[in-house]
Structure 1
Amino acid sequence: MEEIYANVESVKPLNSRSSAKPEGPRSSERFLQAAVLCLGLLSLFLLAGLIGLAVRYHNSVGGAAADLSSVKANLTERLQASDQQLSSVSEERDRLNASLTEKTKEVARLQSSNKTCPAGWRKFSCVCYLISTERASWERSRQNCRASGADLVIVDSYKEQEFITSMIKEQTWIGLNDIGQEGTWKWVDGTPLTQKYWGLPPDNGSGDPVWGEEDCASLVNGRETSKNWNDLSCTSPLQWICEKIIDVIAFQKFFCVSSLVFSLCSDLRRSGRRFLRAAVIGLGLLSVFLLAGLIGLAVCYHDSRFSCPTEERDRLNASLIEMKRFCPAGWRMFSSTCYHLSKATGSWEKGREECRDTGADLVVIDSAEEQTFLSNFTGGETTAWIGLTDKVEEKTWLWINGAPLSIQYWRSIQPDNGGGYKELGEEDCAHIITGGQNLKNWNDLSCKTSLQWICEKVLPSVA
């Protein structure tokens, strides 16, 4: 919840215009005392209502925690029942269980009034920030932030820009992208970009296919604070910064108002009728704030009782459905597709036959993201067949599904069909060299050469 600061300026009582028959001082004082008494009673009733609703809200949060615990137990049971089939996604299952545990702890923390950040987070103003120790794509970085109840950082002031710049030691993701429409940069909460700190205007990779579409923004360390943003391919693995607002119990929002009332009461002994008028105004303001707090807490109670458990169940059910789409043991998942690097070696034709025996085929690379994934498929340099050939017509390269070659990542001066050396034969099949930093890693080779191969198959959709 956001902190509310109530700044109450001194109120200058309006002098009543004298009437034809002015009332005596005792009559006026009695009226003011009665007004103070009535407003005081009203404030007490409102405060009692606020406390009652807060107690009920607390009990509701406890019920929500029990509901989430029930969902967690149900999910764990279902995961254990299919543990053998879901071995390849055990890491995702553990992340969901950890997320549920964190949600339960977060419900318990709503009772605490300490305005502090979780362990490992840094506080700036009323916001907590966390810089990751891992590296991931922009989308995966955002998922990690949201799993902890936060999101990628939104920079809306120069002071905040200075603060997060001081946190980084290498290039780091922020919550800014133009994925929706090229050139229209928006923050993760949907707000358009106003304050900009680009080093150079975003160039979307300058049209070079090596860099791909540069649709996500990052901070670059070592540059001037006001000019250290850069656009980059969203699949690049970087650190990231998460941001979330500190939780505060609703009663803290009225602390300063209560202090004002106590101060007014201490002055009552000295101010006489003048203070009685101020007391009427002060208690009136208190009544308004208490009524606003009562309404706000009622809305919060309604949302927590009816929205949060349902949304959490829906999210968990969606995650469980997604987890049913798993790759066989020894295969790796990217997007909605499974990939497998063979241990055996053989000709291009043998590699394709082996892939088709498993319900797959040699890999077809149709995006920069997939090329990046495959280029980092192995830790060391590995040469493997892919599903690209020009056996039908020389220099007309086609994928095994019949699609023509559109995006290409040939090495320098390749393909060269053996470079004119007859001993190399006709080089009509393509392979990839994984494990290196260069994305341009394709080469043509004789289809009879013995290499490993990469199989690819698309996961079936889950109803």
Structure 2
Amino acid sequence: MVQERQTQGKAVCWTLRLWSVAVVSMLLLSTCFIVSGIVTYKFMMDKPSRRLSELHTYHSSLTCFSEGTMMSEKMWASCPNHWKSFGSSCYLICTKENFWIISEQNCVQMGAHLVVINTEAEQNFIIQQLNESRTYFLGLSDPQGNGKWQWIDNTPFSQNIRFWHPQEPNLPEEQCASIVYWNPLKWGWNDVFCDNKHYSICQMKKIYL
């Protein structure tokens, strides 16, 4: 009888220990999950705050607007004042003529880069902002003059996304791309000398809040 009680007592102790281990493990897992969620939330909230802070070093004021069609989808997006909004980006038409490299540096000083065109819709939006008598630098260049065009933000240059005028690009010495209106062809891309002075288009990502 005594031996049987001792055996039962040991079994109860082991059961209690197993339950204790299980409870402690669950508490640890729950704590890790909560901490992970807090860290992720803080990171997601801090990221736009950091970008807003960075933009305020370049721009004195921003314009914010709601996006989305339903209440559950609505969010706030921001662009610097006087920049145009389209898709997930903000655009600025620079009407001071400069070399390609200086135009890019000017964009960088505003937290942006020369425009990278990825879709026909984006191209159509941009040309609505342009003056038909002017030429505008794009963020597209062929530094070696060997036909290997590359975007300034390292976006792969897709042969499916191109809007060159017929027979362009045509000179290896013309290593920078522009967008220009030719009658009757209308708007299209053209290769030009990088040390020519033209207008330009800057682009930056929107800030989402």
Contact 1:138 1:216 (8 Å CA) reproduced: yes
Aligned to 2:144: 180
Contact 2:136 2:201 (8 Å CA) reproduced: yes
Aligned to 1:102: 58
Aligned to 2:84: 122
Q: Does 2:184 correspond to 1:218? A: no
**1:116 Cα deviation after fit:** 2.2
Q: Distance in 1 between matches of 2:146 and 2:206?
A: 34
Other structure's SS at 1:135 match: strand
Letter in 2 for 1:148: M
User: 1 or 2, which has the higher strand percentage?
Assistant: 2
Q: How many residues align?
A: 160
Aligned to 1:192: 157
Aligned to 1:203: 170
**1:193 Cα deviation after fit:** 3.9
Q: Could you list the per-position Cα deviations for residues 408-446 of structure 1 after superposition, in whole angstroms to 9, with x for gaps in the alignment?
A: xxxxxxxxxxxxxxxxxxxxxxxxxxxxxxxxxxxxxxx
Letter in 2 for 1:248: Y
**1:52 Cα deviation after fit:** 4.9
Query: How do 1:312-461 residues align onto structure 2 when only pairs under 5 Å count?
Result: none
Other structure's SS at 2:178 match: strand
Aligned to 1:240: 200
Q: Distance in 1 between matches of 2:100 and 2:179?
A: 12
1:158 pairs with 114, 120, 123, which one? Answer: 120
Contact 1:165 1:221 (8 Å CA) reproduced: no
Contact 2:112 2:204 (8 Å CA) reproduced: yes
**1:102 Cα deviation after fit:** 2.6
Q: Distance in 2 between matches of 1:204 and 1:140?
A: 22
Q: Could you list the per-position Cα deviations for residues 250-281 of structure 1 after superposition, in whole angstroms to 9, with x for gaps in the alignment?
A: xxxxxxxxxxxxxxxxxxxxxxxxxxxxxxxx
1:171 pairs with 135, 139, 143, which one? Answer: 135
Q: Does 2:101 correspond to 1:139? A: yes
Letter in 2 for 1:158: E
Q: Distance in 1 between matches of 2:81 and 2:108?
A: 17
The answer for unaligned runs of 5 or more in structure 1 is: 1-37, 69-98, 107-112, 206-212, 250-463
**1:221 Cα deviation after fit:** 2.8
Letter in 1 for 2:163: Y
**1:149 Cα deviation after fit:** 1.4
Contact 1:168 1:221 (8 Å CA) reproduced: no
- Normalised by the size of structure 1, how large is the TM-score? 0.30
**1:126 Cα deviation after fit:** 1.4
Query: How do 1:220-299 residues align onto structure 2 when only pairs under 5 Å count?
Result: 220-221=180-181, 223=183, 224=185, 228-249=188-209
Other structure's SS at 1:219 match: strand
Instruction: Considering Cα pairs closer than 8 Å and 6+ residues apart, tell me whether 1 or 2 has the greater RCO.
Output: 2
**1:45 Cα deviation after fit:** 7.5
Contact 2:137 2:200 (8 Å CA) reproduced: yes
Q: Distance in 1 between matches of 2:119 and 2:42?
A: 38
**1:48 Cα deviation after fit:** 6.0
CA 1:103–1:55 in structure 2 vs 1: closer, same or farther (change >3 Å)?
farther
**1:236 Cα deviation after fit:** 0.8
- Normalised by the size of structure 2, how large is the TM-score? 0.63
- Structure number with greater Rg is 1
Q: Distance in 2 between matches of 1:47 and 1:102?
A: 37
**1:46 Cα deviation after fit:** 4.5
CA 1:102–1:46 in structure 2 vs 1: closer, same or farther (change >3 Å)?
farther
Q: Distance in 1 between matches of 2:148 and 2:119?
A: 20
Other structure's SS at 1:143 match: helix
The answer for unaligned runs of 5 or more in structure 2 is: 1-25, 63-74
CA 1:230–1:52 in structure 2 vs 1: closer, same or farther (change >3 Å)?
closer
Aligned to 2:67: none
